Structure 1
Amino acid sequence: MEQRLEDYLSFVISWLPNWLLAMIVLVAAVLVGSLIHRFVFRILTRIVAQRDLFWRSLVSRTEQPMRLAIVAWVMVPAIGIAPLSDQQTGLLRHGLLLCFILLIGWMARTTLHIWTTVYLRRFKLDAEDNLLARKHVTQSRILERVAATLIIGFTLSFALMTFPAVRQYGVSLMASAGVAGIVLGLALQPVLKNLFAGIQLAITQPIRIDDALLVEGEWGKVEEITSTYVVVKLWDWRRMILPLGYFIENPFQNWTREGAALIGTVMIYLDYTVPVSVLRHKVEEIAGKSKLWDRQVVNVAVTDFKQNVMEIRILVSAPDAGKAFDLRCEVREKLVDFIQREYPHALPQVRASGTIVEEARAAGVVATADGRTMQQ
């Protein structure tokens, strides 16, 4: 009975064409690899069920590349069994080698992203004092993009080196060096400049995510830092795009470099007759009733004397740049309302002696609303 079965299988195999038999072997290898992956994935899922978030996410996110890797691993012996020509076997093995290289790069990139995401979960950008969070988020995001660029570069390099023609060309190019190296360096100068600028920004951190900046005469917050440019969300929701190298080579103002709290300045020009002590008491009252004031700084000082008015500087502090701006507006509005009601004569005005005014009226010269004079 067994002999007849063997003879029957031998007859069927000899009758089937080679290409069909090869397809059957390869499809069977794919099915076996899928079954092995399902078994291995279930075991790994149970093992990491009690582990931390990183390992659970890693197993979950790498399910597809793991399946492809196991299938490719099973197909290696299947190619040797299948009735293929030497050329077909070489092409398939080369394809599997490329598949392994790309899968390693894919899994490395996924692992890097998962680790960065899990690490940054402990920091909250929406916290009241988010200086530490902004520092770690900025550093991690920049280094992640730089590392991802390196992973992609190395993956493509190893993949290209599997082709003999490209490998020989690369060796000859490296041997020739000289002009080829200079041309390549000039061509890659912008890319390398931004790459090293990104590393320098991640280490020194002159800017961070959510930093308040005054750059190119515009105020806004750092919304995104990529491997080549920085996106600044301006106060009116426009986006300013600047290369990474800009923040290394050009001066700019960072309003949240060491902390989010800021001191806002309000300048007002009043007549010499206004009582400064009453004004100081009113400013302290306005700040005390405001929800925007952080209870740190409030100050009123006469900083200069002009020809017709005196310059009064008011300082009030707030937890961040946005609240400082709103607090300055609130102080201006309420202070002007107070002066208009209580000391209207203290508002800036042009003085003239009685004799000059009487002579001007006698001559028929009157002043218009915009300060010009006209003949009656």
Structure 2
Amino acid sequence: MLWPLISLLAIAAATLAIGWTVDQTLQRIAARQPGAPLWALLRRCRIPLQLAVVSALLLVARPLRRILHLHQDEGAHHLVLLCLLASLGWLTARVVSAALEALLGRYENRVDDPARVQRMRTQIGMLRRVAGAVIVVVTVAVMLLTFSAMRTVGAGLLASAGVIGIVAGIAAQNTLGNFFAGLQIAFGDIVRIDDTVVVDGQQGTVEEITLSYLVVRLWDYRRLIVPVSYFVSKPFENWTRRDPGLLAAVLLHLDHSTPVDELRATLRARLDRHPLWDGAEWALQVTDTTPSTILVRATMTARTPEDAAQLRFDVREHLIAHLRDEHPGALPRVRTGDS
């Protein structure tokens, strides 16, 4: 009974030593190369690495196999093999995720264009999900092949693979359509994370993109879940696809006696002092008239959709307050037959 305990302790000590050595090595490399985030991110792989090491030691070391009776107990041997395969798949997923995250970090540090950074973030996120799904499928498939029953029925499965593939393709038509639509969104630059979109008349910001759906955060913090196939089959508005700036517009129904030139000067003076106006464009024009009112439209540009919305609210309040205090007759009034 003493030798099995000593063997297990030796395996545990070797596993911890290898994990600690690798972690310290990565930490030193990261300290020497602060501009390369990959080495710091690879430290997340310590736990799956240790699981892979301890499983490999149990399978490879013959003295340990004899002491622990793994060469006699097929069930225990198979369980350790499954643990090794699972830990290797986990380790691979962690390494791929760290590499993609490091690539995104370096790109964000080198590129100043927010639109290009958003596009790269969307593509990296999609690649991470695709790679994770592929790694899981391959790992599970390899683990299943370790069972003798799976190898026995392999020929029958191959013979019926054509029929099964056709049936699976018909059954998973929507799923596959969403999958390829997600890839088209990620690499076709149709919509990106943090884009402002209008879907079915509701404005929101793209918060998350997956292989099957998008999460749009609405103005009141509700989340709208939209299938990715929607964005490749139906029209929608993307306010920030090329330029994050936006033109804000304010419409006012006023009396015919409104001093338009003075109102235009008031708008310009307000914009000159407003921190949300980007200084690019502005205008105030009479766009329409009715028998009782005129329609005045004030337009101004802002850097982001959020700034444009707040700028529109502030300008509307300021113009109405100016007319109320200086020219109350310019505000529309409902006239009756006795007035």
TM range (shorter): 0.7 to 0.9
Structure 1 counterpart of 2:29 = 48
Do structure 1's residue 281 and structure 2's residue 265 form an aligned pair? yes
Q: State the Cα deviation string for residues 276-299 of structure 1 (Å, max 9, x = none).
A: 222221211121121111101111
Deviation at 1:170, TM superposition (A): 4.4
Q: State the Cα deviation string for residues 134-192 of structure 1 (Å, max 9, x = none).
A: 11111111111111111111111111111121234344223113442232223333332
The separation in 2 between residues aligned to 1:42 and 1:313, in whole angstroms, is 63
> Unaligned 5+ residue runs, structure 1?
1-19, 358-365, 368-376
Amino acid at match of 1:158: V
Over the matched positions of the two proteins, sequence identity in percent amounts to: 35
> Unaligned 5+ residue runs, structure 2?
none
The separation in 1 between residues aligned to 2:127 and 2:298, in whole angstroms, is 43
Range moving further from structure 2, 303-312 or 342-351: 342-351
Amino acid at match of 1:78: P
Deviation at 1:85, TM superposition (A): 8.3
Do structure 1's residue 322 and structure 2's residue 312 form an aligned pair? no
Deviation at 1:24, TM superposition (A): 5.0
The separation in 2 between residues aligned to 1:219 and 1:31, in whole angstroms, is 56
The separation in 2 between residues aligned to 1:85 and 1:283, in whole angstroms, is 84
Deviation at 1:333, TM superposition (A): 1.1
Among candidates 130, 134, 139, match of residue 146 of structure 1: 130
The separation in 1 between residues aligned to 2:153 and 2:189, in whole angstroms, is 40
- Judge conservation of contact 1:209–1:223 (CA < 8 Å) in 2: yes
Structure 1 counterpart of 2:246 = 262
Among candidates 246, 252, 262, match of residue 236 of structure 2: 252
Structure 2 counterpart of 1:78 = 63
Q: State the Cα deviation string for residues 287-323 of structure 1 (Å, max 9, x = none).
A: 1121111101111122222222222221111111111
Range moving further from structure 2, 76-85 or 212-221: 76-85
Q: State the Cα deviation string for residues 101-133 of structure 1 (Å, max 9, x = none).
A: 2122111110122123323334669x9962222
The separation in 1 between residues aligned to 2:154 and 2:184, in whole angstroms, is 30
Structure 1 counterpart of 2:8 = 27
Range moving further from structure 2, 270-279 or 329-338: 270-279
Cα distance change, pair 46–247 in 1 and its aligned pair in 2 (3 A):
closer
TM-score scaled by length of structure 1: 0.78
Q: State the Cα deviation string for residues 325-350 of structure 1 (Å, max 9, x = none).
A: 11111111111122223332222245
Q: State the Cα deviation string for residues 58-96 of structure 1 (Å, max 9, x = none).
A: 1x22222222222222222235534848651x3344333
Among candidates 277, 280, 284, match of residue 293 of structure 1: 277
Structure 2 counterpart of 1:371 = none
Cα distance change, pair 42–282 in 1 and its aligned pair in 2 (3 A):
closer
Range moving further from structure 2, 299-308 or 231-240: 299-308
The separation in 2 between residues aligned to 1:110 and 1:78, in whole angstroms, is 32
The separation in 1 between residues aligned to 2:50 and 2:71, in whole angstroms, is 27
Greater Rg by CA: 1
| Cα RMSD after superposing both structures | 3.0
- Judge conservation of contact 2:19–2:46 (CA < 8 Å) in 1: no
Cα distance change, pair 276–35 in 1 and its aligned pair in 2 (3 A):
closer
Structure 2 counterpart of 1:102 = 86
Structure 2 counterpart of 1:113 = 97
Deviation at 1:212, TM superposition (A): 1.0
The separation in 2 between residues aligned to 1:46 and 1:303, in whole angstroms, is 65
Structure 2 counterpart of 1:306 = 290
Range moving further from structure 2, 48-57 or 29-38: 29-38
Amino acid at match of 2:53: I
The separation in 2 between residues aligned to 1:206 and 1:115, in whole angstroms, is 25
Deviation at 1:261, TM superposition (A): 0.6
Structure 1 counterpart of 2:215 = 231
Amino acid at match of 2:51: L
- Judge conservation of contact 2:278–2:303 (CA < 8 Å) in 1: yes
Cα distance change, pair 42–229 in 1 and its aligned pair in 2 (3 A):
closer
TM-score scaled by length of structure 2: 0.86
Deviation at 1:208, TM superposition (A): 1.1
- Judge conservation of contact 2:70–2:77 (CA < 8 Å) in 1: no
What SS class does the counterpart of residue 294 from structure 1 fall into? strand
Q: How many residues align?
A: 333
The separation in 2 between residues aligned to 1:323 and 1:72, in whole angstroms, is 56
Do structure 1's residue 210 and structure 2's residue 194 form an aligned pair? yes
The separation in 1 between residues aligned to 2:9 and 2:265, in whole angstroms, is 88
Cα distance change, pair 310–45 in 1 and its aligned pair in 2 (3 A):
closer
- Judge conservation of contact 1:271–1:309 (CA < 8 Å) in 2: yes
Deviation at 1:43, TM superposition (A): 7.2
Do structure 1's residue 188 and structure 2's residue 169 form an aligned pair? no
Do structure 1's residue 65 and structure 2's residue 55 form an aligned pair? no
